[in-house]
Structure 1
């Protein structure tokens, strides 16, 4: 199945400056949001306790807040969780400040608010949260380094720089959206960001692979035209892959429940931004980095010549002539 005719070449490079301008605006806006509003770290990273409560009737959120005001949990955050009957109480502070029987304590404190059951209690100390945050950032950094090394080895350093800049573009905009909509950042969000990295680099590698293939097989010497041909040839595949993935993530977002809303929201933004960057940004950066078709072909010819000489020497050695 193809959405676009294989012989149709779209002029992506002719419109590269407006797309680069749009991406620059989105990235700068995301950075400003991250610095001004910041990320809403969940207990996985900030430490604290989450208590999920399900009432038999509509949860009396105002009454819960009033009841907790006179206790040591006065600074707790109470939000609706999925349905009108369920709420989540987020309590900041170290685990040493909290009793081990917090479930029983909450039962006594909230007894006057109606009939309910406590469905979940999650507790993370600030030290553990700090370690999780540190290891999460380390995992993100190592992923980028490994991808940079892989693309440099498989292609050429300009391809690697372009792909990493594309990934940084995608992650920055995704984090900006997370901060803008006040999505709670926990281990699920970290998993979504790492998934986004893999998804985006996969799309980018496919485009770069087609560019490299066309450089070796085509007589075209104009980089912009060659990129237009390569991106156009992979456009149908990119669109189909993105749409099928998008449908799954939309299903998770609307029907997966509150507990995975943050994960699916991050993937939703990431798929849209990642697809956009693999088509309009990653290959465009090759032009900005002054990639030379002539130099690349010369290097590939030298590699091929060296390989043939090694094969010739090996054959001579096996025949006993050297």
Structure 2
């Protein structure tokens, strides 16, 4: 069965509504990031990590709750290979021996009949964390620059490059804002770590793929329907690609949702970022990227 076989939605008419929606989300995201600051994980701010091996399986949520008080904040707690091995990361400022003793004492109280051995300790230094933070930022900026050049070469029009980069910036900023604003409310970790950076780069790739498909159809229709009004031609191109866009997004969202539900605590933040990215990326491909191209081309003609 084919969905949206002959759609006839007026996307360009809805662009003004999309401007308002995107504007509100972007402003809220920027305000949240500026006021609260990015919620970095141990990877980016430095700290200590411990791997504990229990005799019996344990609950991650119980361990995090038990350690929040003694460590002065909620640590990052994940299963480490098996239900009885746990990775604990904390930014507690104490020396590593003191922090280790605090953790082992808390675990002895939480699981008096389930002893734990510390099988690994490590320190993520602030210098390494700063280098990693700079590397992640450079990776995203470099990706946007390369994408701008790629779209420019492929479509030979800078307005398409601007539209693609605007959509990608829109997607990443909104997802980043959601992680910042709701980081303290979520029942799982939404701190920015290496996995989340990988999710952001995946979102960039997914959103770009959808955007390029739309742009290809716009370029194709511009040569096939030379007498058609430009806005009408763009709207037709969006409707032509709607079936492919929606079906691809739904199937991808289904897989990522399964990963979020059954992937375990370690993948919660990563898969949640991808879920947001699929939804927002699909929206931006239909409304943000195309509307940016239309507006820029319209201003260029009127100049």
TM-score by length of 2: 0.83
Cα distance change of structure 1 residues 197 and 61 upon mapping to structure 2, 3 Å threshold: closer
Distance 1:17 1:122, change over 3 A: farther
Aligned 8 A contact 2:67 2:106 in 1: no
1:46-195 matches, cutoff 5 A: 46-51=45-50, 53=52, 56=56, 59=62, 64=67, 68=70, 74-75=71-72, 77-78=74-75, 89-92=88-91, 97-99=95-97, 106-107=103-104, 110-113=107-110, 114=112, 115-117=114-116, 118=118, 121=121, 123-155=123-155, 156-182=157-183, 183-195=190-202
Residue 51 of structure 1: CA displacement? 3.3
Q: Are the aligned partners of 1:207 and 1:234 in contact in 2 as well (CA < 8 Å)?
A: yes
User: Structure 2 vs 1, CA of residues 121 and 230 (structure 1 numbering), >3 Å: closer, same or farther?
Assistant: farther
5+ residue gaps, structure 2: 184-189
Larger Rg: 1
Per-residue Cα deviation, 1:242-266 (whole angstroms, up to 9, x for no partner) = 0111011001101100001110011
Identify which of 232, 249, 270 aligns with 1:242. 249
1:232 CA drift (Å): 0.3
Distance of 1:142 and 1:98 partners within structure 2: 37
- Corresponding residue to 1:222 among 208, 229, 246: 229
TM superposition shift of 1:200: 0.5
Q: Distance in 2 between matches of 1:292 and 1:218?
A: 22
Distance 1:65 1:230 in 2: 53
Residue 18 of structure 1 corresponds to 17
When the two chains are superposed, the root-mean-square deviation of aligned CA atoms in Å is 3.2
Deviation at 1:52, TM superposition (A): 5.4
CA contact (8 A) 2:18 2:288 kept: yes
**Alpha-carbon distance in 2 for matches of 1:194, 1:105:** 37
Q: How far has the Cα of 1:26 moved from its partner?
A: 0.8
Change (3 A) 1:237 1:128: same
Matches within 5 A, 1:34-49: 34-49=33-48
Q: Tell me the secondary structure at the aligned position of residue 147 of structure 1.
A: helix
The CA distance in 1 between the partners of 2:293 and 2:64, in whole Å, is 54
Q: 3-state SS of the aligned residue for 1:75?
A: coil
- Cα distance in structure 1, aligned partners of 2:119 and 2:253: 31
- CA shift at 1:217, angstroms? 1.4
Q: Distance in 1 between matches of 2:245 and 2:145?
A: 25
Partner residue in 2 for 1:288 = 295
Give me the whole-angstrom Cα distance separating, in 2, the residues matched to 1:166 and 1:158.
Answer: 12
Instruction: Name the residue aligned to 1:3.
Output: 3
Give aligned pairs, total: 286
1:198 equivalenced with 2:205 (yes/no): yes
TM-score of the aligned structures, taking structure 1 as reference length:
0.78
The equivalent residue for 1:268 is 275
Which runs of 5 or more residues in structure 1 are unaligned?
69-73, 296-322
